[in-house]
Structure 1
Amino acid sequence: MQGWLNSPLTPKGEADAARQGEILSGLDLDGFTYLCSPSGRTVQTAGIACGRIAESVCTDMRLREIGVGDWAGRLRDELPQGTGDDPYMAQYEMAPSGEGMAVLSARCQAFLADLNGPAVLITHGITSRVIRSIVVGPHALANPSIRGGQGCVYHLKGGVQNLLT
């Protein structure tokens, strides 16, 4: 579990970011702002994906990944397993000194309330899930093919989520 720790992008992460840049360059993003998590891996993604289309990319702490407290840097397999419909997500609630989903949700809601127009957001998998569920509703996570985060570009507008490819 990485949480607020950092690591450089893998070759796959670099390829995903390049593909995100291709997708974004095909869109009309006139008037959009570009915002990303301050995490090094996210800033690196933003540089690859937005470097040719954005005049600048600003960081916002509220876009960082969920904090996993004492479990940062630990492998999921060595941690207690979560229960319920989604044991993977349940682990985030169990992490000692972790942020938890309610705090992450409040952080994302505050971020969204401060947006002043359309924006390209470069963030993390769990943070993306929370933002999408706030903007689109819980059904944004209902389709298993679009539950994940890394390497994806989502367009959210009018209560509708589209996975761009």
Structure 2
Amino acid sequence: MTYPELYILRHGETTWNAENRMQGWLNSPLTLKGEADAARQGAILRGRQLDGFAYLCSPSGRTVQTAGIACAQIAEAVHTDIRLREIGVGDWAGRLRDELPQGTGNDPYMAQYEMAPNGEGIAVLSARCLAFLTDLSGPAVLITHGITSRVIREIVVGPDALSNPSIHGGQGCVYHLKGGVQNLLT
């Protein structure tokens, strides 16, 4: 399937990111570094041609805060869509990653999301992201989360989207997806 042109932002660093806590559907505010991450993303976007783009954001406080900083000078409105929220981590929300069982396999980091008791799981997140992408009617700037961004990028671009060494990151940068190709803008 062909998808519209996308710019994808991950929210800036939060206090829980800095503490290495699982956030999921819970929220923590941006740190000063996180505010700088969002400002850097705004500078990247201001250098792009975004006429006709929709601006869509997860309803989580950290993404709304990021959108307010990154898109303030360029977006007339930013609309929220719950399908852009982060993967649910169930009973592990708010817990320090180091206190949790470690995942195994090729990607132990992602394996933790499958292990989370009462968590959403990657398959459910993927279905949610696919439904969101199917409903897009034109180009968009998306302000979302690390794992949600990863899943959206893999759906649109394929496994090559995850070959970048910072697949779990994205704070302070912007992913540009067009014609099945991903570019990391820094």
Q: Could you tell me the TM-score, scaled by structure 2's length?
A: 0.87
Q: Do residues 4 (structure 1) and 6 (structure 2) align? A: no
What SS is found at the alignment partner of 1:106?
helix
5 Å-filtered alignment, 1:1-165, equals 1-165=22-186
Question: How large is the Cα RMSD of the aligned pairs?
Answer: 0.8
Kept after mapping to 1: 8 A contact 2:41/2:70: yes
For these two proteins, the number of residue pairs brought into alignment is 165
Q: Which amino acid aligns with 2:90?
A: G
Kept after mapping to 1: 8 A contact 2:56/2:78: yes
Hey, what's the Cα distance between the residues in 2 that align with 1:80 and 1:146?
21
Structure 1 equivalent of residue 8 of structure 2: none
Kept after mapping to 1: 8 A contact 2:30/2:62: yes
Kept after mapping to 2: 8 A contact 1:71/1:95: yes
Kept after mapping to 1: 8 A contact 2:157/2:177: yes
Q: CA deviation at 1:147?
A: 4.6
Kept after mapping to 2: 8 A contact 1:69/1:97: yes
Q: Could you tell me the TM-score, scaled by structure 1's length?
A: 0.98
Compare relative contact order (CA 8 Å, sep 6+) and give the higher one, 1 or 2. Answer: 2
Q: Which amino acid aligns with 1:56?
A: A
> Against the structure 1 CA distance between its residues 138 and 57, is the aligned structure 2 distance closer, same or farther, given a 3 Å change threshold?
same
Give unpaired runs (5+ residues) of structure 1: none
Identity of aligned residues (%): 87
What SS is found at the alignment partner of 2:171?
coil
